[in-house]
Amino acid sequence: MNYLEEYQKWCESPEFDEETKQELLSIKGNEEEIEDRFYKELEFGTAGLRGIIGAGTNRMNKYTVGKATQGLANYILEQGTQSKGVAISYDSRKMSKEFSMQTALILCANGIKAYLFESLRPVPELSFAVRNLGCTAGVMITASHNPPKYNGYKVYWDDGAQIVSPKDKDIINKVRAVKSYNEIKTIAQEEAIQKGLLNIVGTEMDDKYLSVLKNAVLNPQIMREQGKKLKVVYTPLHGTGNTIAEKLFKELGLENVYVVPEQKDPDGNFPTVDYPNPEDPKAFKLALELAKKVDADVVLATDPDADRLGIFAKDAKTGEYMSYTGNMSALLIAEYRISQMKEKGILPANGMFITTIVSSNLAKAIAQYYNLECIEVLTGFKNIGAVMKKAEENKDKTYVFGYEESYGCLIGDYARDKDGIAAVMALCEAACYYQAQGKTLWDAMNDIYEKYGYYKEEQVSIVREGAQGAQEIKDMMTKMRNTDIESIGNYKVLTFKDVEKDIVKNMQTGETTKTGLPQSNVLYYELENDAWCCIRPSGTEPKIKLYMGIKANTEEEAKIKIEELKNAMLKIVEN
């Protein structure tokens, strides 16, 4: 069936409600829009669903969500774990509340217990709740930091991490096996409650989660003392963060916290930002205005589902607010926490520091300094979670810290996804600790560079939308994969990794070995002088992502080197 036939079916079939049909009839004659909505099914990939909200097979709507949930239900029933139940949470996006209730009721209709949060909650609390309740799975309705027109559906398994291979592929196959929307089972909310299948989760889970976070503080006394002076500006960017953060600030003894009033309340339209992403400096506009007004020391922002954290810190010497990349903020937390654990004699001898192949090489330097095993995984926090699960089962290694460059880290093993709330807490603790020494967070960051070297990273995205764009992205990857690149800019290529083909090629000798990583469409170039480049298509957005990093002796040298490497990489990929 081609896209026009599929469109016609949705406009006429009794499977679809009148509201859906009216939305589709309003685009009649707009071939480009119809093609984009129907040229494929919204793929249930390894990260679940993510797409633009609207009617159509390539959109987030109650039919695509229903199909995904029925497929998940069929898998759970096959495993025989339906009595353990599924925890469900959602963020502030449009349709999140509706999709979460729909998910819960479809599961209930299949005889699977559902634990649905009473209102929106952050991703890390959902991950924690899956473990705390002993659930077989979890679902989070969120499109993370994507623009307002998007929503998504993330699936977690019983360890609290997003699903990984082979489970992801098994669930994907179950979802694909649901051929008709008529196969989706339903039940009334009242009946689901009466049967004990629908369970509402309230603030008692917040209290358990907050208790675990507070127990992770390494210097509570310093935090209480310095918390009287430290000034913090925080914004949840209209998302879930403030459902937990403000209460946590208060209980930790931070007395001067200013939540950006215009962005405090949840709002799926994200009216004050184009893009609710703490990776984007423009998202900090209102927060920085407030920071200057109150003379704040630290400015913090979490994304809508509160798994990512962005930060600006004041440079006392210039009075300027300095932005941190995801690598910088996470590694500042890592250096602070690991150094304090060592000082207190609680750093485990079998400790592991988990990072991703596109994150800063500074992680390796910190791990080496503190005698921790540095484990590199593919992009995506679920891969960090998979290493944690294996260590938990084997009881041979202890998790100390894990992070990915996309503004996410996890300070403890209570959850299995990145935790922006815990990161907010850890950065505030670090700020209090360094303040007691007469230093700012910016001073602390510069101390790290002086200690280990000036590592700098950059990420660039090349956007290609629609069916044609998807083909262009595929062609770019094919060209790069099939071309022997001996140098990038001023750097010789030492090794080339093709993770999809499981090949590591030594560019000097031509010798090949295996990557040891799960199959993924990723190309990685190890360059001389501790530099590197990586290229991969996004799994959730119509773009190809380029990552790169260098090491230099000074900040100025680092800026020049990373710019040169970025331009050289772009030239190779786009030509």
What is the secondary structure of 131-184 as a DSSP string? HHHT-SEEEEE--TTS-TTEEEEEEEETTSSBP-TTHHHHHHHHHHT---GGG-
Give 471's contacts (C-beta < 8 A, 6+ positions apart): none
Tokens of 336: 């602070």
* 8-state DSSP, 55: S
Which one-letter DSSP state was computed for residue 372? P
Cα angle 324-329-333, degrees, rounded to a multiple of 5 = 155
If we measure between CA atoms, which residue out of 487, 484, 480, 485 comes closest to residue 529?
A: 487
Helix pair angle (62-79, 96-109), 10° resolution: 40
Beta bridge partners of 535: 523, 546
- Report yes or no: 69 and 98 within 8 Å, Cβ to Cβ: no
C-alpha dihedral (301, 303, 306, 309), degrees to nearest 10? -40
SS3 content of the chain, % helix, strand, coil (to 5): 40, 20, 35
Q: What is the largest CA-CA distance in the chain?
A: 70
- Residue 335, CA atoms < 13 Å, CB-side half-sphere: 24
Across the strands, what pairs with 86?
114, 137
List the structure tokens of 357: 């192949």
The pair of structure tokens assigned to 189 is 């909310």
Identify any residues that bridge with 398 across adjacent strands, giving them in sequence order: 351
Beta bridge partners of 310: 301
**83 residue type, one letter:** S
CB 241 within 8 A of CB 421: yes
Exposed e or buried b per residue across 121-155, where buried means at least 16 C-beta atoms within 10 angstroms of its C-beta: bbbbbbbbbbbbbebbbbbbbbbbbbebebbbbbb
Is-contact 265 333, C-beta < 8 A? no
Q: How far is 51 from 429, CA to CA, in rounded Å?
A: 37
Peptide bond preceding 14 in cis form (omega within 30 of 0): no
Distances, alpha carbon 31 to alpha carbons 12, 16, 39, 59, 471, in Å: 18, 21, 11, 16, 19
In this structure, what are the phi and psi dihedrals at residue 475, rounded to the nearest 5 degrees? -65, -40
How many whole angstroms separate alpha carbon 538 and alpha carbon 470? 11
Radius of gyration (Cα) for the chain, nearest Å?
Answer: 24
Strand ranges, E, within 217-272? 231-235, 256-259
Active site residues: 144
458 forms beta bridges with 548
